[in-house]
Chains A and B, each alone.
Chain A
Amino acid sequence: MAHQTYLKPEQVKDDKAFLGGKEGQIMGIGAVAAVAGLAGALGLGASMGDGLRGFWFAWLQGCFLWLSVALGALFFIMVIYAARGGWNVVVRRIAEYFAATLPVLGVLVLAGVVIGGAQLYSWHPGSSVELEHHAQILIGRKEAWLNPAFFAIRIVGYFAIWGFLAWYFLGNSLKQDSTGDVTLTKRMWTTSAPGLVVFALTLTLAAFDLLMSLAPTWFSTIFGVYVFAGCVSSFMSILCLTAIYLQGQGFLRRSITMEHYHDLGKLMFAFTFFWGYIAFSQYMLTWYANMPEETFWYMFRQEGGWENWSWLLLIGKFIIPFAFLLNRRLKRNKLTLTFAALWIPVFHWVDLYYVIMPNYSPEKITDGRMLFTAICATVFVGGVFFASAAAIARGKAIIPLKDPRLGESLRFDNIKV
């Protein structure tokens, strides 16, 4: 180990650091997946005969999975700068491309809440859901917050802020590729900390708006943190998978090493654990205090077949990946790490389904058709996500070429330190 020769920073550009035509292929596959996914979701959604209500729920589900990844990426970039991190430079550019898709995802989310708003949100004046008397009173008290116009303005605001932050970091990082200017790093160090503050506030409010207000009388102060935890663990997994895929295609073969994967694996583990902690806190406190104004949210998820889904979530999103990723050897083996990195986003998807879909079908668990609609919608947004990320990466390096801490990242060794 000690005598392994590391790549020097100036050698990185020769380590197949440009997609060089591959982006066209990714965009093509992404476009096909998007079209097929959208067609499938629309077709299945229309066949349900509920005026596309199910389709819009699936749309939200699909958008939020990839939004989680992009937001996790934005968090990762900013936290690296704020903490003056070094080990992660070699994988940072991939995160920057992911985060840069936020404006595209914003268009999809906005389309969903504007066109499908009345179908999704029972607080919406156009909603056909019949609310009980007490719910009407409670929702009436927060009309200033939950009304279609302000809601849409807020969504635009969140994505404008995220898009600005994502492109600010990508832009400066790309500029550094050509100039090698270290003051750019210093500037990003300074911006990252306030960026994180704004990020925390907008992510929380977006989680309240997009997901929590699906059940408009329900509230939980921890909900923003809950969504955040899922974002980071699924992003770490998708980052891992992307790096493994790119290396399999011959890119960055010597730049990204097992040491980086090991650390990504640790972060996947850490945020799996963190999600478990947050989910437990929310559940336990709600269960213990046992107040109907809160418990109804969980009640819907514990009957009519949804209880099976809840068990699936507990076991699949927490117990299995927790036990699996505890082991150092499994994190330092690409095959087993790939398995974990596939598993975690799948169960983040299960989590989103658990949060979103009981609002669509509270009495009884959704049938297979709804499940497939949601899968199709996820494929659709996933296609858009990867195609846009590849389009943004066209002609640009997929690794920071002149970051002042690139050398540190290339030489990084987990066990020694």
Chain B
Amino acid sequence: MSAIPANNQRALDNTVEDPASRPQLVLGNHDFASMTDVVCRVIEAPNPPKIWTTALIISSLVAVFFFSLVAYLITKGIGVWGNNNPVGWAFDITNFVFWIGIGHAGTLISAILYLLRQRWRTSINRSAEAMTIFAVVCAGLFPLIHVGRIWLVYWMFPIPNQEWVWPQFRSPLLWDVFAISTYFLVSLLFWSMGLIPDVATVRDRAKGYWQKLIYGILALGWRGSMRHWQVYEKAYLLLAAFSTPLVLSVHSVVSFDFATAQLPGWHTTIFPPYFVAGAIFGGFAMVVTLLIPARKIFGLEDIITMHHLENCAKVILATGMMVGYAYATEMFIAWYSGNLVEQFTFLNRAMGPYAWAYWIMIFCNVASPQLFWWKKFRTSIWSLMVVAIFVDIGMWFERFVIIVSSLNRDWMPSSWAPFVPTWVDLGMLFGSMGLFMTLFLLFCRFLPLIAMAEIRGVMPQAEVRH
């Protein structure tokens, strides 16, 4: 194999598929040094792009608003939400499941796609992993604040105490505490370990004292020796193998919160794989939503190419079809079961008071990704962005539909009650996005957005020639 000449069409458009060869993953005829320059420029530029500064100001204000609402909630109690009886869970758990789902693409890309030897992952894995961690941060806050008496939240942990108050280990809510904290720790470890060689690059290029010191500490003494690399690669493979079951387990445990119950609409055996597919679906949509602007603002179009976005679109289509499969299976089995309550619940979902939410969900999650059957829509920035945003919305509504439409019509019509969100509910949903964006924007500017060390391995210059 020889390097592709500059005048070759495929070096310009890497979405052209040719069975006889593999597409270029980095465009623009970069070599290792120029690629490193492109990535490090984001950190090293004396002034960040104006739009970045503006976005950071807005999102940090929104984040402050979020924390003010949290303070308000804690002082007043969860009565400030629209939750009622029977709708004991509403926006709080919807937001929780939404964010934890967003957090799945990162680990999928960094662990499962790594094991599947998907070399294109190298352009997007770093930012997707960062997104995972920030999404888990947002997700973790909601169960924490929804307990009401937040000062007793440590009761969820099995800490010995003289009253012998002990968590209920048979409750999936407690499994969540462990599943999510494990996931957070492992993702953080995976991400920060992957950062080491790149942070070392930034350290070596740094001019200022503080930059040298801080990146130096984060690089943990990395010298790029053969021995370092050998240990690093082995650790990376092991962490990938450990993270793979976590991708399945976290959202499966989240699905147990619902599926272990006897509630029609919640209790169905397909929930674990269905939730995992949905999480990857929503997570990839968020990756696309964030990376399309990011690659533009920071000038990374040669590295996060159209080929990468097209692959994301394919994953969105595939997982969207899985989610559609789950919706259809649930509907069919509700009828097939012959159980009248089950049948009522599903009819109520599609035609009851929350039918609008159900059809938004179907439109966003099942109908809109169908555009991705056509290459034209997979390779257009606008259609990618629009569908990705629809999916982000649709996946929030999916959780809302599951939670609220199953709860609001209880077993006895006398205990039916509609759920109406209060301004605090809406504000917290909006506010959590501010928190997420603040963290993500800070990451973009202060840490290498692209896994440079890994990208080098997929560039033609790394090809071993005999």
Digit string of A393-417 for contact with B (CB within 8 Å is 1, else 0)? 0000000000011001000000011
> CA of A194 to CA of B321 in the docked complex: distance in angstroms?
10
Nearest residue in B to A224 (C-beta to C-beta)? B329
Whether a CB of chain B sits under 8 angstroms from the CB of A217 is yes
Segment with Cβ contacts to B, from A16-24, A93-101, A162-170, A276-284? A276-284
Which residues 321-352 in B have Cβ within 8 Å of A in the complex? 321, 325-326, 329-330, 333, 335-339
Whether a CB of chain B sits under 8 angstroms from the CB of A310 is no
Q: Inside 8 A of B336's CB, which chain A residues have their CB?
A: 142, 145, 208, 219
Tell which of A141, A197, A285, A288 has the most Cβ of chain B within 10 Å: A285
Contact among A193, A194, A221, A277 with B248 in the assembled complex (CB-CB below 8 Å): A277
Contact A220 B269 (CB under 8 A): yes
Nearest residue in A to B252 (C-beta to C-beta)? A281
Q: Inside 8 A of A191's CB, which chain B residues have their CB?
A: none
* CB-CB under 8 A for A281 and B329, given A186-B17, A217-B338, A219-B337: no
Digit string of A251-291 for contact with B (CB within 8 Å is 1, else 0)? 00000000000000000000001000110011011101111
Q: Inside 8 A of A182's CB, which chain B residues have their CB?
A: 18-20
> CA of A147 to CA of B308 in the docked complex: distance in angstroms?
49
> CA of A417 to CA of B119 in the docked complex: distance in angstroms?
9
Contact among B245, B260, B261, B338 with A138 in the assembled complex (CB-CB below 8 Å): B338
Contact among B19, B260, B268, B317 with A288 in the assembled complex (CB-CB below 8 Å): B260
Which residues 1-33 in B have Cβ within 8 Å of A in the complex? 17-20, 22
> CA of A405 to CA of B22 in the docked complex: distance in angstroms?
10
Q: Inside 8 A of A194's CB, which chain B residues have their CB?
A: 373
Q: Inside 8 A of B376's CB, which chain A residues have their CB?
A: none
Question: How many residue pairs, one in A and one in B, have C-beta atoms under 8 Å apart?
Answer: 97
B310 CB to closest chain A CB (Å) equals 11
Q: Inside 8 A of A3's CB, which chain B residues have their CB?
A: 466
Segment with Cβ contacts to A, from B46-54, B57-65, B129-137, B270-278? B270-278
Whether a CB of chain B sits under 8 angstroms from the CB of A247 is no
> CA of A90 to CA of B335 in the docked complex: distance in angstroms?
45
Which residues 327-385 in A have Cβ within 8 Å of B in the complex? none
B279 CB to closest chain A CB (Å) equals 15
Contact A285 B329 (CB under 8 A): no
Tell which of A286, A289, A405, A416 has the most Cβ of chain B within 10 Å: A289
Contact B333 A221 (CB under 8 A): yes
Whether a CB of chain A sits under 8 angstroms from the CB of B45 is no
Whether a CB of chain B sits under 8 angstroms from the CB of A319 is no
Q: Inside 8 A of B269's CB, which chain A residues have their CB?
A: 220-223, 281-282, 285-286
Nearest residue in A to B249 (C-beta to C-beta)? A277
A117 CB to closest chain B CB (Å) equals 19
A262 CB to closest chain B CB (Å) equals 12
* CB-CB under 8 A for A2 and B464, given A142-B338, A221-B333: yes
- Which of the four size classes fits the interface of chain A? 35 or more
Q: Inside 8 A of A222's CB, which chain B residues have their CB?
A: 269-270, 272-273
A146 CB to closest chain B CB (Å) equals 9
B267 CB to closest chain A CB (Å) equals 5
Nearest residue in B to A146 (C-beta to C-beta)? B336
Contact among B260, B273, B321 with A197 in the assembled complex (CB-CB below 8 Å): B321
Whether a CB of chain B sits under 8 angstroms from the CB of A36 is no
> CA of A84 to CA of B22 in the docked complex: distance in angstroms?
10
Tell which of A138, A141, A189, A417 has the most Cβ of chain B within 10 Å: A141
Digit string of A170-196 for contact with B (CB within 8 Å is 1, else 0)? 000000000000100110010001100
Q: Inside 8 A of A288's CB, which chain B residues have their CB?
A: 256, 260
Whether a CB of chain B sits under 8 angstroms from the CB of A201 is yes
B238 CB to closest chain A CB (Å) equals 12
B315 CB to closest chain A CB (Å) equals 11
Task: Report B's interface with A, CB cutoff 8 A.
Answer: 17-20, 22, 117, 245, 248, 252, 256, 259-262, 267-273, 317-318, 321, 325-326, 329-330, 333, 335-339, 373, 464, 466
Task: Please provide the 5 A-B residue pairs with the shortest distance between their CB atoms, ordered closest to farther.
Answer: A221-B270, A404-B19, A138-B338, A222-B269, A141-B338
28 contacts between A and B (CB under 8 A): A84-B17, A86-B22, A182-B18, A193-B317, A200-B325, A219-B336, A220-B269, A221-B268, A221-B329, A222-B269, A222-B272, A222-B273, A225-B270, A278-B272, A281-B252, A281-B272, A282-B269, A284-B260, A285-B256, A285-B260, A285-B269, A288-B256, A288-B260, A289-B259, A289-B267, A290-B262, A291-B262, A405-B19
Q: 20 more A-B contacts (CB under 8 A) besides A288-B256, A405-B19?
A: A139-B338, A142-B335, A186-B19, A189-B17, A189-B19, A200-B321, A204-B329, A219-B336, A221-B268, A221-B269, A222-B272, A224-B329, A273-B245, A277-B272, A284-B260, A285-B256, A285-B269, A289-B267, A293-B339, A404-B19
Task: Report A's interface with B, CB cutoff 8 A.
Answer: 2-3, 84, 86, 137-139, 141-142, 145, 182, 185-186, 189, 193-194, 197, 200-201, 204, 208, 217, 219-225, 273, 277-278, 281-282, 284-286, 288-291, 293, 404-405, 408, 416-417
